[in-house]
Structure 1
Amino acid sequence: MSRFFRAGESDSDDTESDYSDELTNSESEDQSDSDASESESDSDDQQGKKIGRGRFFEGSLSDSDSEDDTVRVVRSAKDKRFEEIEQAVTAMNNGQKINDWVSVQTEFDRANKALQKAVGIIAQTGVPKFYIKAVAELEKTVQSTLDKEKSAAKKMNASNAKALNSMKQKIKKNNRLYEKDIQEYEKDPENYDAEEEEAIEIKPKIKKPKKVVDSDLEEEEGEEVDDGFTPVGAGGKTVEFNQENLFKKLREVVDARGKKNTNREEQVRILERLLVVANTPYQKIRVLLNLISTQFDFAVGLSGYMNISLWKNAEKYLNNLLAILESNNDYIVKENVPEEDDNDKDRLPQNGEAVFIQGSIVAFIDRLDEEFTKSLQNIDPHTTDYVDRLKDEVSLYAVIVRSLAYFNRLDATDAICRTTMRRLEHVYFKPNNVVVAVENAIASLLPADIVKPSEDATSLVHDLCVDLYKNGSSLQRTRAMLCHIYHHALENRFFVARDMFLMSHLQDTIHLADIITQILHNRAMVQLGMCAFRAGMIKEAHSCLQDISGTGRVKELLAQGLSLQRHSTASPDQEKIERQRQFPFHMHINLELLECVYLTCSMLLEIPNIASTAINPENRKKMISKPFRRMLDYNSRQVFSGPPENTRDHIMAASKALANAEWQKSVEWISAIKIWDLIPESRKIKEMLGHKIQEEGLRTYLFSNANYYSSISLESLAKMFDLSLRTTTSIVAKMVWIEELSASIDQVTNIVVLHHLQLTRLQTLALAFAEKAAGFVESNEKLLETKTPQQGERSKKGTNASKEQGPGKQQQQRTMGARGNTRGGRNQFNKGLGNSVRGGRK
């Protein structure tokens, strides 16, 4: 049997015998005294602890008693932290001796990190004197090394020189925090840290008796020895804020920004307390600039936008900053301001010169506006939260107007253009009465010299756009033009908006612009088409809406949502970017109303075009609106068509009635659409549509039944479609003039004489042959263009030149062909708008 088990058995026997003896004694003794019973219970507890420990722990303790080599030394937190700092300082001094500034820089950073970790201990004992001595000597060494380097023949390597220059900035910035300690050191450098060295020398002589520390008791003894450690909570330490340490505390907050494990809420609390302490304009401006920036440092949560309370705080502080700058004209906040050496001292204007402070107010405006837009993008627009959030737009608009007045006083062109663009983006899409209400609201919030009550939104938008036309960049001018066009179209000034569109030639270069500008172009084009529809110009409205509504991707083109495509190849990152481009809900154009307008215009143009195939079979290939034609074909193939339920069903039912010359039913179906109530003065819109349906019904009737009449009375036509005789005569005369109808008008009897032209078999074949021949000629010309070199390349000869030229030429032909189609669409758009120039201003 081993010694371990024998020791365990003997110990167990002894404890058992002792326990039995103690038990018999406790039974026989008379417990009359309470003190005796307490002592016995204590002894029992001690015996119980001894029994509960077990054999293995007793053996292990006896083994540990035999081994005196292992002794655990417990040090206080102060010793640990100061030793770490001292090691870094020693390595830093060694690096100075060998002129290794890379290692000096590394050890300097390590010493400062260790100093930050010991901030609780330093608050009680003060900064170590050996650290003060080291940084004071380091600053002198850096300066002397730089002076030697200027006159030295052999320069140090690039990395060492870079580290030296970096140390110059760091040590200068660092020593500002310890100016008083450094001044005290410079008074008596030899005896500065003498007391600290004596304490360090005396401390190792105090020896404690060696004793074994159990693992359970080690932490308790460590706490007793570690008298230098003080726990610091969120508000555990008391820090005084006054005029003397204001810039010092501000510097600490600025240096801590962006670092890991920085408590941003604590930073905000410190800056708010500094704002209360600040009493000069310079101090308040410096604190407010950092306080506004700190509001934007908070991480965005799952909501995807900035916390609304933080946003409102940033807006409040920005208003306070602008108020201080307005009342103190000698203080100017600008971006490009050189950093001053005495940045930690209060500055006052001297000799009438302004004090420039580094900062960017326009960046704050941009960030506020962007975060406001993000919040509207992510909040459900069908809840009251969206409405409550939208109410904050008035205060944001007031801040924009106030900052614009400040930039105008400084004559800062770039900031003026950026802020003017922000203001224009909040105004251009709103009706006149809404803009006037907002302008009057901010006039009551701001001083009278900044903004005055406005009575006309048109003049306001015009002034903002003209400022951007004069001073803005190319992108800003383009967007200002599109906003101006949108606003004119919104106010039913179609010809003004159309002329601006055509004279600016935006439709020729918009494909080269960025996506946001293209979206703005699409919105302006759609609003222009809606304006033409309200004015009763059906062809112009259809030509404006064709490129947007005819694609089936209206949501994406107007940035009003993402359509769910079955075979979508967009990555999650692309979808995220697309969602960030979406316009807020209150800026949306009603897509159902847009579809209704587009299909109604297509009906009024396509139904007569389909009916004209009875006279001219060549018109079968002519298709004005492919989406409308597909819907009509699908609806015609239905075996049973129920009563109309939605907008499309109503328009399809009206189209069938119009094709059968039943214009009363067509008017009823169109007027039954409820979406018209969203248009201002919807009654006039319905009357206009009824009149247009009567006119197109007359044209459709003549196209469909021209082969069955030899002559027809104009009076009967006017009575049939409830039109005046003058209007009926004008419509028929126009059809005859543009050769849509082979007929003549007898003005004496008011009779239309129809001419029937029966083509013979030979004539029909000749026309077919001529059409095919024209197709062959066109294909041969295209083939010849691909084979013929350009004018600048005709001098090249040989097979190599032809090989090099062939693919490039073909690629160029393909590109030009695609652009040709696009230009054809634009020319068609221009042609459609140009028709209104001749016939629109009657």
Structure 2
Amino acid sequence: MAAPGNKFWGGASSSESDSDSGSSDSEEERPVVAAAAPRKMARWAEASSSEDEGVAQRRVVRSHTDKKNEQMLEQIKVMKNHMKIDDFASTITDYEALIKMLEKLRTQVEADGGPPKQFVKAIGALEDYIEKTHAEIQEKKSKGNKLPENKAKAFNTLRSKVKKGNKLYADDLTQLRSNPEDFQSEEEAADSASEASQAAGSEDSASGSSESDSSSSSSDSSSDSDSDSSDSSSDTGGSDSSDSDSEPSFDDSDKSGSEDGDEDLARERKMLRWLITPEKLAEREKKAEVAKAKEAENKAKDQEKRARKKDKVEEGQKGTTHQRKGKDEPEEYTSKELTTKVTEIAQQRGRRGFDRKVYMEKLQKLLVHAAKHGPLEQLYIYASMVSADFDNTGSAFAAMKIEMWNEALQKVNKMLPLLIESHNLMKSGSEDKTSAGDTDVEDPKSHPRLQDLFLSFVEKLDDELYKALQFNSDVYGSEYHEILGNSSKCLVLLNRTLRYFEEVKEPQHLGSIAARLMEQLYYKPDTLNHRVYDAIPHTMPEESKAHWVWPDDSKAYMGKLCHYVWAAGDVRLRRRACLCQAYHLALHDCFQPARDLLHLGNFQEQAAESDVHTQILYNRVIAQIGLCAFRLGKITEAHNCLMDVCQYNKGRELLAQGLSYAKNMERSQEQERAERQRQLPYHMHINLEVLESAQHICAMLLEVPNIAMQAIDPSNKRIISKVLRRALEAYDKQQYSGPPETAKDSVVAAAKDLQRGDWAKACAQLEGLQLWHHIDTNHPENGEKVKAMITEKMKVEALRTYLFSYASIYDAFHLDQLVQMFSLDERTVHSTISKMMIKEEITAFWDESSKYVLVQHVEPSPLQRLAITLAERAVQAVENNERLVDLKSGGFAFKDGARAQPGLATEAKGKGRMGKGFDMKGDAKGAKGKGRGKGSFAGQPMRRAAGWENARAGALRGTQRGWSTGIRA
């Protein structure tokens, strides 16, 4: 008993005396003992330390995982404190911090097969706390006591976050509530064991004191592996720390002592704690052995975890993961566990160090388990895999790689049979919720949501293929042909999806797929579509070949798809579907139905209000209708359509077939990017040379007779083609005209020959155009027929031009002579001349035999000529006055697009004799006086917008040619 007495009164303990006696008596060690002696004389109530203070403390190295675990435990304590004071806002922050900490420990979580027990216990306690608090709030609310608005809002936010976040750990929480003992930590288990022993030995004070001593020394034994060091720490400085740890037990003993009224008994219990008995020594030895065993077990676990981490790192470097069956990963998954596992794997997307190959292999292995639960689980996994494929789609100007596109296409093709199976299960009604899924849209495994995902994947594949064709610069290379070859695969997917939605009868989805299919087919002629549909069945199973026959009436098939789109109700898709149908009709020479479709739908006004892609499609339809009219010989209609596209030399820009670079035209970087994004792939282009050649030929056939007619009828001011007139004027100004180099030069040279009535030479000029080889894409052999038809048209227009030019010279024309000159049959010549007579284009008539055309040479009287001249001058004066009014009122909307430009001043002067009653601005004097008039548009002449010469700028001309002559007459 000497040793405890010495320790109680501040003396040296037995362990210290033993260590001192057992140490060497050398002089090197004695100063150390002497230096440590003052520390041993400290008071017993102070927090003195053991003999370890005299020796340098050993540095403890902890792993990153241990630090994170300690941080999590500290965060749990903070959250519990906030729960005690009902601080909902802080509890939200604590809960989110816990979730983030668990994510950082995902490697350990995967190795241990689930989250830490303390984490599960904490979120379970939080969930119970929320439910209890919610019930209390509802009870207070019924009594009229409401929470403050900010606090109620914070509580509702906390409740929703916890309800949503705890879904991932529903299985762990269920296990916690069924077996709470499995989720106790080692300290809690030791405390519960000590409390149980105290309760069992409450009658025996000695045994009770030994139990309290064992509970107080449990922390010391867990910290030190050696039993002797644990004894020494408990005998010396460790007693203070054990006092602090065992304060709750002392409080309990004080309470029990006060309740019994026996203060001596409580004091005796406290004093017995400092007494070392043989039973206590034996218990300490036993605990030391248990601590050593636990420490060895923990070391073995740590080594096993390190080995697992090492294996995972090696497997990640090799690109493969081997799932272990056993404790870490079960051999069978429930539907809920499988969903949780897939969600955890899917959360790895976008993180640092993400390996797509490993990700796909993990999901591929889960497909084996998903096949046992029905189609929806497999669809959910395939959806996660396809979503990861689309993560590498690139930027707005970089398309998805074609290899990646094919991988995604294979997965989407596998989803369609599963979707059909899921629909059949829902339709039959023989399934449960786990096999067929709920109709809840929020459920990630519901059939409607997976069906929408599948549709979005199909549309994304179509968009990526279009982008790959759009931004491929080498259109003649093998890469472009390879990408174009994959369009048949996309066509197969669209057809299969269309048949599925036709069976399930969903108008919205059916309209979207029908619009996509029309965009794939509308610009291709029947010959091309027929060949594609003939080639596809070679790669299809026998039962699917019946679906791959191109219909004989493709126009009816396109009409059927258009009806599907109209049933969907999307305004934009409706417009585009009708335009695609009109394009397809025009491509197959159905001019009247295509034009009626445009006019009945009022698409000219609707296109101006639509997006830029719909406007481009409208321009393409107009161009194709113009070519259709040209092939059918409708020259006027063809010219009207083609002039809208080719008039201002902006066909390339209007049809989105390239960027047009004009002078004095600057684009910003955003405008150029937007223009590049709306460019069409090369295989969808319309040949611009064909368009321009057809437009110039139509203009020639209409304008050349019109110019000849205006020579004999000055009142005819009609201009059909300004472009051709300017080209003819430029041709006349050339001193030497060489052979034509472009298609436009050939047409201009043919027009000059046609003006002379030399139709044979004019036709020879057009012989070498590429137009005849590309005018009919559906039937290329029809080019010769179109050329023969245009030749006949040129003969007829040459006849009309000849009659306009030379009718004033001849008194009569013989029918046989005209037939021979223009190589036309007699009936055509007779019909053409008769039409000219009916329209009063020429003043002639047939004789009784209908073999001669008798021309009437009726010269107008002088009064008639002067009347015509006076009418022309009056019209000119009215126009001048209107321009003056526009100038004074600030308006510049001049006729024919004229507009004012500053910088120049013009002046008009003239002399003339004026009659009585005339009073014009200027210096006109007297009835027969001489007049001198000056005028200008305030120094601003006018110039026509189309590049015409400057208009005459006199506001009121003093005299006009012929005006004074008319007055004097």
Same fold (TM over 0.5): yes
Q: 1:298 to 1:165 in 2, by over 3 A?
A: farther
Letter in 2 for 1:665: K
Distance 1:76 1:168, change over 3 A: closer
Which of 697, 702, 707 aligns to 1:600? It is 697
Tell me whether 1:726 sits opposite 2:818 in the alignment: no
Q: What's 2:503 paired with?
A: 409
Instruction: Describe the shift of the 1:298–1:147 C-alpha distance in structure 2 as closer, same or farther (beyond 3 A).
Output: farther
CA shift, 1:375, in A, is 0.8
Are the aligned partners of 2:370 and 2:378 in contact in 1 as well (CA < 8 Å)?
yes
Residue in 1 that maps onto 2:195: none
C-alpha distance in 1 between matches for 2:220 and 2:484: 70
Instruction: Give the structure 2 partner of residue 243 of structure 1.
Output: 332
Measured at CA, do residues 666 and 269 of structure 1 come closer, stay the same or move farther in structure 2, by a change above 3 Å? same
Q: Whole-Å Cα distance in 1 between the matches of residues 569 and 338 of structure 2?
A: 41
Aligned match of 1:552: 649
Contact 1:362 1:415 in 2 (8 A): yes
Structure 2 CA distance for partners of 1:505 and 1:177, relative to 1, 3 Å: same
Q: Is residue 428–residue 483 contact of structure 1 (8 Å, CA) maintained in 2?
A: yes
Amino acid across the alignment from 2:785 = K
Q: Name the counterpart of 2:416.
A: 322
**1:653 and 2:756 matched:** no
1:712 alignment partner, SS class: strand
> Paired residue for 1:103, among 65, 78, 90?
90
Q: Which residue of 2 aligns with 1:176?
A: 170
* Greater Cα offset, 672-681 or 439-448: 439-448
**After superposition, what is the alpha-carbon deviation per residue over 1:297-329, rounded to whole angstroms, capped at 9, x for unaligned?**
224169711121221122111111111233454
Q: Does 1:752 align with 2:854?
A: yes
In structure 2, C-alpha distance between the alignment counterparts of 1:255 and 1:332, rounded to whole Å: 30
Partner of 1:356: 447
Which secondary structure state, in structure 1, belongs to the residue aligned with residue 859 of structure 2? coil
Identify if the C-alpha distance between structure 1 residues 99 and 573 changes in structure 2 by more than 3 Å, giving closer, same or farther.
farther
CA displacement 1:597-650 (0-9 Å, x = unmatched) = 11111111112222223112344x432122233333333333322212221221
Greater alpha carbon shift after TM alignment, 281-290 vs 174-183: 174-183
> What is the aligned partner in structure 2 of residue 25 from structure 1?
none
Q: Does 1:186 align with 2:180?
A: yes
- 1:609 aligned partner: 706
Whole-angstrom distance in 1 between the partners of 2:426 and 2:385: 18
Out of 730, 738, 754, the position equivalent to 1:634 is 730
Task: Give 1:252 deviation, angstroms.
Answer: 0.7
Secondary structure (helix, strand or coil) at the match of 2:160 reads: helix
Residue 253 of structure 1 and its aligned partner are, at CA, apart by 2.6
CA contact (8 A) 1:525 1:545 kept: yes
CA separation of 1:187 and 1:346: change in aligned 2, threshold 3 A: farther
**Partner of 2:133 in structure 1?**
145
Kindly indicate whether the alpha-carbon contact (under 8 Å) linking 2:755 and 2:798 is maintained by their aligned counterparts in 1: yes
Q: Mean Cα displacement is larger for which, 592-601 or 704-713?
A: 704-713
In structure 2, what is the equivalent of residue 712 of structure 1?
Answer: 813
Cα distance in 2, alignment partners of residues 309 and 549 from structure 1: 40
Q: How does 1:80-479 map to 2 (within 5 A)?
A: 80-124=67-111, 127-151=115-139, 152=141, 153-158=145-150, 159-176=153-170, 178-179=172-173, 182-183=176-177, 186-187=180-181, 194=188, 205=224, 230=309, 233=313, 235-236=315-316, 238-240=322-324, 242-244=331-333, 245-257=337-349, 262-279=354-371, 280-300=374-394, 304-331=398-425, 356=447, 358-359=449-450, 360=452, 361-379=454-472, 380-442=474-536, 445=540, 447-448=543-544, 451=547, 453-456=549-552, 457-479=554-576
Q: Helix, strand or coil: the match of 1:635? A: helix
Q: Deviations over 1:437-482 (max 9, x none)?
A: 3344555637449836233122321222233344543333322222
> Structure 2: how far apart are the matches of 1:716 and 1:449?
64
Runs of 5+ unmatched residues, structure 1: 1-67, 209-225, 334-341, 788-842
Q: 1:77 to 1:477 in 2, by over 3 A?
A: closer
The answer to which of 236-245 and 675-684 deviates more is 236-245
- Greater radius of gyration (CA): 2
Count matched residues: 694
TM-score (norm 1): 0.75
Task: Call closer, same or farther: CA 1:193–1:438 in 2, change over 3 Å.
Answer: farther
TM-aligned CA distance change 1:638 to 1:105, over 3 Å: farther
Q: C-alpha distance in 2, partners of 1:654/1:465? A: 44
Q: TM-score, normalised by structure 2?
A: 0.65
| Structure 1 Cα separation of the partners of residues 190 and 647 of structure 2 | 86
Change (3 A) 1:384 1:635: farther
- The answer to whether the 8 Å contact 1:311/1:368 transfers is yes
Task: Give the CA deviation at 1:418.
Answer: 0.7
| Conservation of the 8 A alpha-carbon contact between 2:425 and 2:436 | no
Letter in 1 for 2:816: E
Q: Cα distance 1:70–1:675, how it changes in 2: closer, same or farther (>3 A)?
A: farther
Q: CA deviation at 1:738?
A: 1.5
Is 2:724–2:748's contact at 8 Å kept on the other side of the alignment? no
CA deviations on 1:756-781 (whole Å, 9 max, x unpaired) are 53574623431223423664798899
2:207 maps to which residue? none
Pairwise CA distance, 1:91: 2.5
Provide, for residues 458-514 of structure 1, a one-character-per-residue CA deviation record: whole Å limited to 9, x for no partner.
232122223334454333332222222111111112122223233333224332222
CA–CA distance in structure 2, aligned partners of residues 482 and 618 of structure 1: 41
Aligned residues of 2:750 and 2:766 also touching (Cα < 8 A): yes
Partner SS state of residue 645, structure 1: coil
Contact 1:654 1:669 in 2 (8 A): yes
Alignment of 1:529-548 (within 5 A): 529-548=626-645
Q: Which residue of 2 aligns with 1:832?
A: none
Residue deviations 1:204-245 (CA, integer Å, cap 9, x gap): 55799xxxxxxxxxxxxxxxxx97764653734643475325
| Residue pair 1:91, 1:107 contacting (<8 A) in 2 also | yes
Aligned partners of 1:601 and 1:71: how far apart in 2? 101
Tell me if the contact between 2:397 and 2:677 (Cα under 8 Å) persists in the aligned partners: no
Instruction: Report deviation, 1:534.
Output: 0.4
2:298 counterpart residue number: none
- Residue aligning to 1:808: none
The question of whether the paired residues in 1 share the 8 Å contact of 2:656 and 2:680 is answered with yes
Task: Name the CA distance, whole Å, in 2 between partners of 1:98 and 1:384.
Answer: 72
Q: Structure 1 residues 200, 627: closer, same or farther in 2, change over 3 A?
A: farther
Contact 1:429–1:486 (CA under 8 A) maintained in structure 2:
yes
Asked whether the equivalents of residues 332 and 355 of structure 1 are also in contact (C-alpha less than 8 Å), the reply is: no
Contact 1:133 1:185 in 2 (8 A): no
Partner of 1:75: 62
Q: Which amino acid aligns with 2:459?
A: D
Measure the CA separation in 2 of the matches of 1:626 and 1:246. 73
Question: Kindly tell me: are residues 264 and 162 of structure 1, through their superposed partners in 2, closer, same or farther at Cα, counting changes over 3 Å?
Answer: farther
TM-superposed CA distance for 1:596, in Å, is 0.8
Partner of 1:743: 844
Q: CA deviation at 1:543?
A: 0.9
Whole-Å Cα distance in 2 between the matches of residues 381 and 424 of structure 1? 23
The Cα of 1:685 is off from its aligned counterpart by 1.2
SS of match in other structure, 2:547: coil
Which is worse superposed, 581-590 or 143-152?
143-152
Relative to structure 2, which stretch is displaced further, 534-543 or 701-710? Answer: 701-710
Structure-2 separation of matches of 1:696 and 1:579: 43
Residues 438, 446 of structure 2: 8 Å contact kept: yes
Kept in 1, the 8 Å contact 2:76–2:122? The answer is yes
**Aligned equivalent of 2:787, options 678, 686, 702:** 686
Deviation at 1:587, TM superposition (A): 1.5
- Quick one: which amino acid aligns to residue 128 of structure 1? P
